[in-house]
Chain A
């Protein structure tokens, strides 16, 4: 039934400057890359990638960056407060059958879904390199979690200002990695322009790649049409949010514009 289930917040964790994870006791099985709709009654309801999933405990975590009225409100909520949740929705990432050498390319809090994917990949015996990009050191999320999972040698940090790791972008580190080692598959989640760049680089190098696209979503289950992308019309919430780089190459708006709440196009 597509309606929110009310749950009390069971825990809150600070991840980085202005970024928190909200934990909910909810035994939902979500694939990495799938998302849920989180409702603050009377305020609004927004999509969130699942960033933690502990099925033994029956708990999921959603990471929120305080950037607008909704996320600020959510960030100020306390343990015990009620929120609504529905989902999971959309297509998650696919771990290819014969893909052993994987690269995660995460920008900002887009690393949420990729961190979960890395956990699954490791449990299936894949080798994972994780490129974690952020504007600055203070905005880095999940670095310790990824280090613990993969070992520090498999985590490559990039920051725009050089305050941690390599000064530069996720795409710079990705290009270097292509020169240094064999890569079977790349997974990317982050800002639109980064996704476009990663997808293009992978297409040029003929490396399988999946990217998780973000568009303004209303219903989350493919009915309202708000998240359809130009010019092919597929729904980010139903055929996506994870799509192949081959599909990404057909989306002219990727890295260029998106639609705001009214549906008007707005340049990125």
Chain B
């Protein structure tokens, strides 16, 4: 049977449904291209903000038995210094590049979106949900559906580029946030960001991460994430990109059956190597073969029946 592993988000075709997740690897244009050459179907670079940020001191990543905890703190050189990097990635990756952005205020989200839109990307991912900047920004925007919708409205007023709203898992009802951002104009949703967590070193009696708190990623996050995607799929009609612990083809298919049309992979790079994208895609093909699916589309939301 001929198996088609390509997928579509809105009208954008991806040769396979694995996307490099924001925050991992994609610090520079060259790093994005490197991940693309290792098989990623699309690239979401590291989030850019309005101004240069150093991020947190080390350690910014620590492992526990079922995943990682990170608090990198959104280091970036500021959108104006970074346009060249995004341009390099768009020119050389050979796959779609969806720049990710954040701001400390609604207006800053709008400003960064406007600047990035000058490059004409196919989509922008709006990072409403990074949990690691609380000391600067207070509550993440994605934790409050009104705040999230407000950001989306402002971004939509500043750009014609389709936007993906990236949601947080740690809310009482993610369906409410999903509905609010879609009503405000979000063209797609990616879910989820990391979940707040902490790892303490008992020999020095302090958290390992310099920021003390961080976000849980990797296998521990996966069932939480699959459930969020399932819930969002029930609530809204826009395309969903699943994120959270995708390490194998089976993980990716779970997300797709919950309602995603593509998945982002970050921490999986640690477990499977930088060519995790190629490996996951090959494993998906095997699962599709085994179960008689010939396209990704046939599997989207299959678990809802």
The chain A residues found within 8 Å of chain B, CB to CB, are 1-4, 6, 37, 39, 41-46, 82, 84, 218-219, 221-226, 228-235, 238, 259-265
Residue of A nearest to B60 (CB): A218
A43, A46, A225, A261 interface centre (most CB from chain B within 10 Å): A225
Residue of A nearest to B28 (CB): A228
Cα distance A65–B27 when bound, in Å? 28
A6, A41, A43 interface centre (most CB from chain B within 10 Å): A41
| Residues A46 and B58 in contact, CB atoms below 8 Å apart | yes
A231 to chain B, nearest CB (A): 5
- Nearest first, the 10 closest Cβ-Cβ pairs linking A and B are A233-B34, A45-B58, A228-B31, A264-B77, A225-B25, A6-B203, A2-B63, A233-B30, A225-B27, A44-B57
Q: Chain A residues near B58: list those with CB within 8 A.
A: 37, 39, 44-46, 218
| Residues B24 and A224 in contact, CB atoms below 8 Å apart | yes
Q: Chain B residues near A223: list those with CB within 8 A.
A: 24-25, 61, 68, 266-267, 269-270
- Can you list 11 residue pairs at the A/B interface with Cβ under 8 Å? A37-B59, A82-B204, A219-B60, A223-B269, A228-B34, A233-B35, A233-B37, A259-B27, A260-B54, A262-B54, A263-B77
Q: Chain A residues near B54: list those with CB within 8 A.
A: 260-262
| Residues A228 and B25 in contact, CB atoms below 8 Å apart | yes
| Residues A263 and B27 in contact, CB atoms below 8 Å apart | yes
A222 to chain B, nearest CB (A): 7
Q: Chain B residues near A6: list those with CB within 8 A.
A: 201, 203-204
| Residues A221 and B270 in contact, CB atoms below 8 Å apart | yes
Contact for A263 among B28, B65, B274, CB less than 8 A: B28
Given A84-B201, A84-B204, A218-B60, A224 contacting B33 (CB threshold 8 A):
no
Residue of A nearest to B52 (CB): A262
Q: Chain B residues near A225: list those with CB within 8 A.
A: 24-28, 31, 46
| Residues A232 and B34 in contact, CB atoms below 8 Å apart | yes
The chain B residues found within 8 Å of chain A, CB to CB, are 24-35, 37, 46, 52-55, 57-65, 68, 72, 75-78, 81, 88, 199, 201, 203-204, 206, 208, 210, 266-267, 269-270, 274
Given contacts A45-B58, A231-B33, A263-B46, 11 further A-B contacts (CB under 8 A): A39-B59, A44-B210, A218-B58, A219-B60, A223-B267, A223-B270, A224-B72, A228-B30, A230-B28, A233-B31, A263-B75
B27, B77, B81 interface centre (most CB from chain A within 10 Å): B27
Contact for A43 among B27, B57, B60, B267, CB less than 8 A: B57
B78, B204, B266 interface centre (most CB from chain A within 10 Å): B204
A252 to chain B, nearest CB (A): 9
A196 to chain B, nearest CB (A): 17
Contact for A2 among B35, B61, B77, B203, CB less than 8 A: B61
Number of residue pairs spanning A and B whose beta carbons lie under 8 angstroms apart? 128
Cα distance A43–B57 when bound, in Å? 8
| Residues B61 and A262 in contact, CB atoms below 8 Å apart | no
Residue of A nearest to B61 (CB): A219
Given A2-B62, A226-B27, A41 contacting B270 (CB threshold 8 A):
no
Q: Chain B residues near A84: list those with CB within 8 A.
A: 201, 204
Cα distance A230–B85 when bound, in Å? 10
| Residues A231 and B30 in contact, CB atoms below 8 Å apart | yes
Cα distance A45–B61 when bound, in Å? 11
Cα distance A232–B274 when bound, in Å? 14
Q: Chain B residues near A1: list those with CB within 8 A.
A: 63-65
Cα distance A224–B33 when bound, in Å? 15
Residue of B nearest to A227 (CB): B27
Q: Chain A residues near B206: list those with CB within 8 A.
A: 41-42
Residue of B nearest to A44 (CB): B57
A95 to chain B, nearest CB (A): 25
Q: Chain A residues near B204: list those with CB within 8 A.
A: 6, 41, 82, 84
Cα distance A223–B26 when bound, in Å? 10
Given A84-B204, A261-B75, A4 contacting B59 (CB threshold 8 A):
yes
Cα distance A6–B206 when bound, in Å? 12
Cα distance A259–B31 when bound, in Å? 13
| Residues A263 and B30 in contact, CB atoms below 8 Å apart | no
B149 to chain A, nearest CB (A): 30
Residue of A nearest to B24 (CB): A223
Q: Chain A residues near B55: list those with CB within 8 A.
A: 261-262
Cα distance A44–B63 when bound, in Å? 17
Q: Chain A residues near B63: list those with CB within 8 A.
A: 1-3
Residue of A nearest to B266 (CB): A223
B54 to chain A, nearest CB (A): 5
Q: Chain B residues near A264: list those with CB within 8 A.
A: 52, 77-78, 81
Q: Chain A residues near B28: list those with CB within 8 A.
A: 225, 228, 230, 233, 259, 263
| Residues B61 and A222 in contact, CB atoms below 8 Å apart | no
Contact for A262 among B75, B199, B201, CB less than 8 A: B75
Q: Chain B residues near A39: list those with CB within 8 A.
A: 58-59
Q: Chain A residues near B77: list those with CB within 8 A.
A: 262-265
Q: Chain A residues near B53: list those with CB within 8 A.
A: 262
Cα distance A4–B63 when bound, in Å? 10
Cα distance A231–B84 when bound, in Å? 12
Cα distance A262–B78 when bound, in Å? 9
Given A218-B60, A223-B269, A230-B30, A3 contacting B208 (CB threshold 8 A):
yes
